[in-house]
Structure 1
Amino acid sequence: MLDVALTIVRDEGADRLTLGHLAARAGISKPVAYDHFGTRSKLLIELYKSIDQTQAAALQAALTTGERSIEETIAALASAYIHCYADTTGEWHAIGAALAGSEEKEAVYQELLDGYVQLFAAVLKPHIDLQQAELERRCIGLIGAGEALSGAMVRGNCGEPEAAETFASLIRGGLRESLSCRSNGEA
């Protein structure tokens, strides 16, 4: 059902995604859709989580394969993060907008962002001479920048390569003074 829901969002927009419309498009009865999701908000939350899980897995796979220098790590991190948004062709933002103001969405969104903070910190830690708490705070800021750049890209204000390079530059700048301690002059 989530695949059909994603198709509806892609083809018709998030506003058209209702439990009744999902049931009709999936060839199931309305009660089945309502029994499974309960409400439209819960359907949107599950779809939001599903898209994120797919993108987080792709991001983690891109970042945890092979050894990289700090520059290669930063480039891979920025590129993979921005590509996750490009790969969803705007569905992530459309579903997020449809859930705007939902307390449940805010809790889920924060949980997802916390996961990205941990992933960023784990990928950067081997190259950074910062205490874990400080590294995580910086990753929070960097992810905020990545979110803003991704949104700009989705709105057509820049392309994926420009967004990724800008994000990489911000990562370097946000970590510059702590890079040289462990990277032997790679920064």
Structure 2
Amino acid sequence: MAPRRLSKPERRRQLLDTALRIIREEGADRLTLGHLATRAGISKPVAYDHFGTRSGLLIELYRWIDAQWMNAFQDALATSLRSLENTAEILAAAYIHCAADMNGDFHAVGAALAGSEEKAAVFQELLDNCVRLFVSVLEPHSSRSPAELEQCCVGLVGAGEALSAAVVRGRCREPEAIKAFTLLIQGGMRTSPP
């Protein structure tokens, strides 16, 4: 009996899984559509049909990794949050853990896209999504105006990016990054007395 043919979404997932394995095992420089097709056991035209170009593949992989990260992040935040301290600790731990748990995949794909205008647009889209998530989680703990809260969250997401990159590069340990990020979140939500 012949194996069942994969649907287009199933094939796309298989190709993204294979692309991620290539990056982990061989490095991002080895990820080409031709090599992906060989490793996935398909013809080159199938790979080109799904992604068009190597940049198209990298951008889809970037989005796919981010979607997995955001799902894990939202799962961690699904518990009922009470105090600012508790919220900040859960938010910081979820952000740093999810980013560090990806073994640097997101950073590796981002580096492979360095200098690409497409990458800059996609990266900004992903950062904007994360800022919106931070705003929604922190809004109950903030007395700031919506615009101030959003700008504060932009800064917090930037700090989270820097701290998670430091963990991935071995410049600090995950618990240290979580503690620092928790303090930054708490500080960002407190307003000075008038």
Task: Give the aligned residue type for 2:133.
Answer: L
**Aligned residues: percent identity?**
66
What secondary structure does 1:177 align onto? coil
Counterpart for residue 32 of structure 2 = 18
Counterpart selection for 2:63 from 44, 49, 54:
49
Distance 1:70 1:152 in 2: 25
Q: Distance in 1 between matches of 2:123 and 2:78?
A: 23
Q: State the TM-score, normalized to the length of structure 2.
A: 0.89
1:154-173 correspondence runs (5 A): 154-173=168-187
Unaligned runs of 5+ in 2: 1-14
> In the TM superposition, what is the alpha-carbon distance from 1:67 to its structure 2 partner?
3.0
CA contact (8 A) 1:64 1:123 kept: no
Task: Give unmatched runs, 5+ long, in structure 1.
Answer: 181-187
Cα RMSD for the two superposed structures: 1.2
Distance in 2 between the 1:117 and 1:131 partners? 15
Which residue identity does 2:189 align to in structure 1? Answer: L
How do 1:1-187 and structure 2 match up within 5 A?
1-177=15-191
Equivalent-residue separation in structure 1 for 2:114 and 2:87 (angstroms): 33
Are 2:84 and 2:186, in contact at CA under 8 Å, matched by a contact in 1? Answer: no
Higher relative contact order (CA 8 A, sep 6+): 1
Q: Give yes or no for contact 2:141–2:189 (8 Å, CA) kept in 1.
A: no
Contact 2:142 2:190 in 1 (8 A): no
Q: TM-score, normalization: structure 1?
A: 0.93
- How much does 1:69 deviate? 1.4
Structure 1 Cα separation of the partners of residues 187 and 138 of structure 2:
14
Counterpart of 2:109 in 1: which secondary structure?
A: helix
Contact 1:19 1:39 in 2 (8 A): yes
CA contact (8 A) 1:15 1:98 kept: yes
